[in-house]
Amino acid sequence: MAETINPQWRVAAFPRAGPQASDFRWVEASLPTLRDGDVRVRNIYLSLDPTNRLWISGQETYLPAQRIGDVVRGGAIGIVEESRNAHLKAGDLVSGLLGWQLYYTGAGRGLAPLSLIEDVPLLAHHGVLGAVGLTAYFGLLDIGRPELGETVLVSAAAGAVGSLVGQIAKIKGCEVVGLAGSEDKCRWLTEELGFDRAINYRTVDLNRALRESCRKGVDVYFDNVGGEILNAALGCINRKGRVVTCGLISQYNAEEPAHNLSNLSRFLIQRARMEAFIVVDYLPRAAEALPQLTEWLRAGRLRYRVDVVQGLDRAPETLNRLFDGSNQGKLVVQVSPAP
């Protein structure tokens, strides 16, 4: 290993609204030496997800709050270059919270070895067969529990998680309606992913559009956004309907989050259930989901898009694409070449 410099992004300030360039600081750190149990990993693909915004909010979430000066937390896939850990050796692919940096140096414990599945590209392991796939699988099936013929509504449906949720719901025999923010995304949902209907929420009267697209009401609403869309979905919720609270992205950049659920009366009258989950709780059950996701993927029943941005230096500006509606599918920053 010739290089001794580790370029990385650190937290410079807690964003108040949308993350700004000034909230991040580019540092060329030196590489620490390895201690017993440590590994050095060269990061390849850095995953950008809405939850990243919560981690740098300065608030404790389901993980400890990041502090000023910390390397920005982020999930990534990388390749082990040096190891003093008995379970990992140079050349192994791993995934984990490797951070917004070129090299992760630290405990090998907590990193998951990645066994490449034949015919499945590395990037799919990051999405469909990674946290994104597990989020869609367990959120929909374990929390939403859709039944044959039920109507499943998905928000941020052209996003990494939403696009899988809709396809899994189709596999399970549901009517699937997606909400997305452009005509192009809507076409992708209906023409390529098999959604029954898609609504461009930016151009319609949301309440009317939902009533028209979900004529039998909504049995499962998979919520990635919160806010007005959540409220509109509650306005269509069916008897014993279920809301899967996966994300609240509409409000992550808000200084004063607003989820005015005026339709909560319908939630009550319909004896509905709203339940939140975090995929980390399901990691111990990953083995239940991965063979099924792999089978569907190989059979062409799960399609996905990956939106790859080149260069660690572009990570901060790229994060904002999750909030301005400009990305489609799984958003990834390529930090270094794949093997």
Residues that bind a copy of itself in the complex, under the rule CB under 8 A: 54, 61-62, 226, 245, 247-248, 251, 256-262, 264-265, 267-278, 281
Q: How far is the CB of 277 from a copy of itself (least distance, A)?
A: 5
Which C-beta is closer to a copy of itself: that of 16 or that of 87?
16
Minimum CB separation of residue 325 from a copy of itself in Å reads: 20
DSSP 3-state assignment of 314?
Answer: helix
- Based on its alpha-carbon atoms, the radius of gyration of the chain, rounded to whole angstroms, reads 20
Closer residue to a copy of itself, CB minimum distance, 260 or 310: 260
Comparing CB distances to a copy of itself, the nearer of 245 and 328 is 245
Give min distance, CB of 143 to a copy of itself, in A: 9
Q: Please tell me the distance from the alpha carbon of residue 301 to that of residue 189, in angstroms, as a whole number.
A: 13
CB distance 270 to 237 below 8 Å: yes
- Could you tell me the smallest distance in angstroms from the CB atom of residue 261 to a copy of itself? 5
Q: What's the token pair of residue 146?
A: 């859709």
| CA distance linking residue 56 with residue 320, whole number of Å | 13
- Cβ atoms of 328 and 127 within 8 Å: the answer is no
Contact 40, 30 (CB under 8 A): no
Residue nearer to a copy of itself on the CB measure, 188 or 267? 267
Smaller CB separation from a copy of itself, 83 or 245: 245
Beta carbon of residue 85, minimum distance to a copy of itself (angstroms, whole number)? 31
Angle between helices 131-138 and 286-298 (to 10 degrees): 100
Closer of 41 and 136 to a copy of itself (Cβ): 136
Which tokens in the block code for residue 91?
């050349």
Question: What's the rounded Cα separation, in Å, for the pair 293 and 16?
Answer: 37
Most distant CA atoms of the chain, gap in Å = 66
Report in angstroms how near the CB of residue 97 gets to a copy of itself at its nearest.
17
Nearer to a copy of itself, 62 or 291 (CB): 62
263 vs 46, 115, 165, 177, CA distance in Å? 39, 46, 24, 20
Q: Over the range 244-264, which residues count as b (16 or more CB within 10 Å of their CB) and which as e?
A: bbbbbbbbbbeeeeeeebebe
Report in angstroms how near the CB of residue 271 gets to a copy of itself at its nearest: 5
